[in-house]
Amino acid sequence: MSLKLKALTKSIWVYHLSTGSCNNCDIEILDLLTPRFDVERFGIILVGSIRHADAILVTGALNLKTIPRVKAIYDQAPKPCVIIAIGACSCGQGIFAKGYNTPEPVDSLLPVNIYIPGCPPKPEAMILGIVKLIQKLRGKK
């Protein structure tokens, strides 16, 4: 395991990328950061710049306007970068599947490491997904 991936298991700095979601996933992510769920105990912190991020958290379905912007943001991210897809829209386009404005799912553009489905997923499900991601990065099953 590379030193960078091992460091990711201790403290993951996350950049939140909303690609046109309905904001329900975003509200649940904010709830995840409150003292009730306290995801910071796992070392997870939201950062405002992609250049400081270890992971990209994607919410919403990709549409024609966001695809080039998502590519540009991913190119600016330091590598290796972990991609987390949260919500039904980012996991499989949800209700926007086969829409004229949403031609591609997120995993066709970005190498998604973990999917956290739900509409919207509850904070408990997000914590479980984060724990599984950390185990995956450490090489455990």
The Cα 97–Cα 6 span in angstroms is: 36
According to the model, what pLDDT value does residue 2 have? 59
The Cα 43–Cα 131 span in angstroms is: 11
Interval 123-139: pLDDT, tens = 999 999 988 888 888 87
Interval 38-79: pLDDT, tens = 888 888 889 999 999 989 999 999 989 999 999 999 999 998
Identify whether the C-beta of residue 11 lies closer than 8 Å to the C-beta of residue 45.
Answer: yes
Averaged pLDDT score across all residues of the chain: 88
Q: Where are the domains of the chain?
A: 3-135
CATH among 3.40.50.300, 1.10.1200.10, 3.40.50.12280, 3.40.50.2020 for 3-135: 3.40.50.12280
Distance of CA 82 to the CA centre of its chain: 8
Q: What is the CA radius of gyration of the chain?
A: 14
Identify whether the C-beta of residue 114 lies closer than 8 Å to the C-beta of residue 57.
Answer: no
Those residues whose C-beta lies under 8 Å from the C-beta of residue 130, and which sit 6 or more positions away, are 12, 39, 42, 44, 84
SS3 86: strand
